[in-house]
Structure 1
Amino acid sequence: MRALIQRVSEASVTVDGEVVGEIGPGLLVLVCAMQGDGTAQAEKLAAKIAKCRIFQDDAGKMNRSVLDVGGAVLVVSQFTLAADTQSGNRPGFSTAAAPAEGERLYEDFADRMAAQGVPVQRGRFGADMKVRLLNDGPVTIWFDI
């Protein structure tokens, strides 16, 4: 699985004018299931992100996780993280999981994030979503599990 996380002061996702997920301080997690991924990858990715120390401690060092700071996570599916840009001008997405499997793994990943003890909000898989965020830092980290 692939994920791009951003440390945020706040983030929300809107579908058809309705806010479907919203958090205060925490992480915006854009996630993509790749071909061949399964529950093991979803579990490993959730544990890694929940424990990733990218929040500041009292000394101003990035030494705390989203769990440590009591932050929340907004999980948004984004198949475009599978983009292959090696040739031509139009990205290819053939390495992304098929839609049904992608949705199953997206939901599994979000459930596993919640099981880590992190409050989780979600986007809507396959929807045309509008994502708003106030990036804190900015801090943006790429995961490929």
Structure 2
Amino acid sequence: MTTNNYFRGDAVKKVWLNRYPADVPAEINPDRYQSLVELFEHATTRYADQPAFINMGEVMTYRKLEERSRAFAAYLQEGLGLQKGDRVALMMPNLLQYPVALFGILRAGMIVVNVNPYIPRANWSISSTTAARRRSSLSPTLPIPWKKWWRKLRSSM
């Protein structure tokens, strides 16, 4: 009987490492940060004016990502009344709004439940299968209700 070693560490050719910038290490210390939020906050401070994401020609810097995710976290807490530990179902395409929502949910101490929109039953059975208290679905064509919390947050900075 032969064993497929394709997924074993040494057998996989890590061709993507050739694309890394010179200052990006191939290995990281997974114990350096206590949480994704801590890693996120470190990155937004260190790389504030550098691009965090580029999508469809739009660039979002780490600073903008930090500001927008903070505003979204405030909206979840103050606008929707969600609390730390609540599950928030997130069903979104790969657009710039996704990392804002993702990190906003995490910053608020909530749990992200990513939902695949291509699973037909996900649209109507999401609450029973995930225990999510709220759904978050953003679209560039919909009004963004959390803008008022963003303005409130900006004025307090």
After TM superposition, the score normalised by the length of structure 2 is: 0.28
Which structure is higher in strand share? 1
**Higher RCO (CA 8 Å, separation ≥ 6 residues):** 1
Which structure is higher in helix share? 2
Bigger Rg, structure 1 or 2: 2
After TM superposition, the score normalised by the length of structure 1 is: 0.30
